[in-house]
Copies of this chain bind each other. A is one copy, B any other.
C-alpha cells in the first residue's frame, strides 16, 4: 500500500506535534516554576476555572483528554501544596470536588497575566485564521483518532 499525499503531510504534522508539545511544556514549566507550579498543575488549575465551578477529578480529566489517574496524581499534588482543597460533593460520595484556594487563585491569575504577554509575543504577526484553521483541523483529527481507538490493529 502506498501513502496518500494527505497521509504524508499528516505524518509530518505528527512529528511537529511531538516537537512542539515538548517545547510548550518546557516553556510552561519555566513560566510557572517561580510560583511552585508546573505545566500539568497549571493545566488542572486552569480547567477548574474554565469550567466555571468546582469539578471532580474525572470530569477534569475528560475535559483535558487525559486519564483520570494522571489528573488524580496532579490534583493530589495541588492539594498538598495548598493550591486547591477537596470539598465534599453532595451528588457523589466518592467524587470530591477540586476547589482552588486563595493561594491557587492568586497563582493562576499571575500566571495568566504572564501567559498573555508570552502568547502575544509568540503569536505576533501570525494570521489569526491560519491558526484557527489549525485548531479546527486538530479538532477533526481528535475526533477521528477517537474513532480509530475502537478499531484494533488486526494481526
Question: Could you tell me which A residues sit within 8 Å of B by CB distance?
Answer: 1-14, 16-24, 26-27, 30-31, 34, 43, 64-66, 113-128, 130-135, 137-142, 144-146, 148-149, 152-153, 155
Known contacts: A18-B43, A21-B21, A138-B20. The answer to whether A119 contacts B7 by CB under 8 A is yes
CB neighbours (8 Å) of A125 from chain B are 6
Please report the C-alpha to C-alpha distance between residue A17 and residue B19 in the assembled complex, in whole angstroms.
10
CB neighbours (8 Å) of A34 from chain B are 153, 155
Please report the C-alpha to C-alpha distance between residue A131 and residue B153 in the assembled complex, in whole angstroms.
25
Are the C-beta atoms of A20 and B17 separated by less than 8 Å? Answer: yes
Across the two chains, which residue of chain B brings its CB closest to A152? B30
Give this chain's copy count: 2
Across the two chains, which residue of chain B brings its CB closest to A46? B15
CB neighbours (8 Å) of A12 from chain B are 131-132, 135
Across the two chains, which residue of chain B brings its CB closest to A66? B22
Are the C-beta atoms of A153 and B119 separated by less than 8 Å? Answer: no
Are the C-beta atoms of B116 and A24 separated by less than 8 Å? Answer: no
CB neighbours (8 Å) of A43 from chain B are 18
Are the C-beta atoms of B1 and A116 separated by less than 8 Å? Answer: yes
Are the C-beta atoms of B119 and A23 separated by less than 8 Å? Answer: no
